[in-house]
A and B are shown apart, each in its own frame.
Chain A
Amino acid sequence: MKFGILVNEGPYTHQASDTAYQFARAALAKGHEIYRVFFYHDGVNNATRLTVPPQDDRNIVKRWSELAAAHKLDLVVCIAAAQRRGLMDKSEAKRNAKDADNIAPGFRISGLGQLIEAGIQADRLVVFGD
């Protein structure tokens, strides 16, 4: 089956991102396809490479990046939600005259249309939120 995943909460405060990650990993292990993972609301904070959790804790951002690299996942961060919350890639930082960017490997910034498209293309769109 082809899944789309929507993550609506940031890392650590809520379990949503953890559960979405576990779901994605389990689905891939069973041979299913993940069409796209879309990050919205505070979920965009899952994409900051500047996160530094304690060493004995899981690294939620790094885990997403590694899963994306291993399975060629499409991790998409909503641009409007990202701009509100200070998530930038290089080109967005330049366009908005900011002095830094912070997006983690494997993530890309794009529009809400990518979420709708995931709903259209996937057999199931699974929402992880609070």
Chain B
Amino acid sequence: MTEEGAGGAAKRFLYVNRRAPYGSIYALESLEVVLIGAAFEQDVSLAFIGDGVYQLVKGQDTKALEVKNFSPAFRALEDYDVTKLYVEKEALEARGLSEADLVVPVQVVGAERMAEIMEAQDVILDF
């Protein structure tokens, strides 16, 4: 924990998304925290690991599930100055996906780099 963090300067918040977008509510409610949290002017990053990478996949069609497709909301993150989106390279590859399949620009990083990114945070919220 940094002294700056405790003293009032911005803290580094990382939201870790590790679950698929549908099947449970974690991904949607995680995004709700990110959008509310953006108003607090902290240093915000998002990580997508494991099945969490599916949250960003283009062309989601949830009509048959009768739930809302919330993936377009990721495109709004830029308007909230949330631009640091890290996606785990190994998770993409294991699922046959690449950066071109995703709805927003991201930084694809290996698991080791992801661990360093996590290490550098003040607050990690894991959903």
Using a CB–CB distance below 8 Å, which chain A residues touch chain B? 6, 8, 40-41, 80-81, 84, 111-113, 115-117, 119-120, 123-125, 127, 129
A125 in contact with B123 (CB, 8 Å): yes
Partner of B26, one of A41, A113, A120: A41
User: What is the CA–CA distance of A120 and B10 in the complex, to the nearest angstrom?
Assistant: 8
B124 in contact with A127 (CB, 8 Å): yes
Other A-B pairs, 10, CB within 8 Å; known A40-B33, A113-B36:
A6-B125, A113-B37, A115-B37, A116-B37, A117-B40, A119-B11, A123-B6, A124-B1, A125-B124, A127-B126
User: What is the CA–CA distance of A6 and B127 in the complex, to the nearest angstrom?
Assistant: 11
B1 in contact with A112 (CB, 8 Å): no
19 contacting pairs across A/B (C-beta < 8 A) = A6-B125, A40-B29, A41-B25, A41-B29, A80-B32, A81-B29, A84-B25, A113-B36, A116-B33, A116-B37, A116-B42, A117-B40, A119-B125, A123-B6, A125-B123, A125-B125, A127-B124, A127-B126, A129-B127
User: What is the CA–CA distance of A115 and B34 in the complex, to the nearest angstrom?
Assistant: 11
B40 in contact with A116 (CB, 8 Å): yes
Number of B interface residues at 8 Å Cβ cutoff, please give it.
Answer: 21
State the Cβ distance, B35 to closest chain A Cβ, in Å: 9
Q: Tell me which residues across on chain A come within 8 A of B6, comparing CB atoms.
A: 123
A115 in contact with B33 (CB, 8 Å): yes
CB within 8 Å of A: which B97-120 residues: none
A120 in contact with B40 (CB, 8 Å): yes
